Amino acid sequence: MLPTLARFIQLYASKQESLIVRDEYIKAAQKVIPDPNILINVVSRRVKQLKYGQRPLVESLERLSPEDTALREIIEGKISYELFDPEKEEA
């Protein structure tokens, strides 16, 4: 499953520039968000926000790509997600 997820993120990133997403970040982020579809959606939404100028929620000594920054934010618990529950909406 990891090669598919890594490939998708790399393809997403390659639209703007060529870069390699760090596999260790993807593996660690998958421990936080195990569903690859949700992880892809969370990462891609955060990458868009970072590219539009929002500041990263994590600090790094090295310059990270927006994709790596989004993954690190997930790993460090700075970003979470909530699934839509129609039963809660009706109440």
3-class secondary structure for 25-39? HHHHHHHHCCCHHHH
Regarding pTM above 0.85, the answer is: no
pLDDT of the chain along its 91 residues, tens only? 555 666 666 666 555 444 566 889 999 999 999 999 999 999 999 999 999 999 999 998 888 899 999 999 999 999 989 888 878 766 5
* Residues in Cβ contact with 60 at an 8 Å cutoff, skipping those fewer than 6 apart: 69, 72
Helix, strand, coil shares of the chain, percent, nearest 5, are: 60, 0, 40
* Residues in Cβ contact with 89 at an 8 Å cutoff, skipping those fewer than 6 apart: none
Distance (Å, rounded) from C-alpha 10 to C-alpha 77?
A: 22
Hey, what domains does the chain have and what are their CATH numbers?
2-90 (3.90.940)
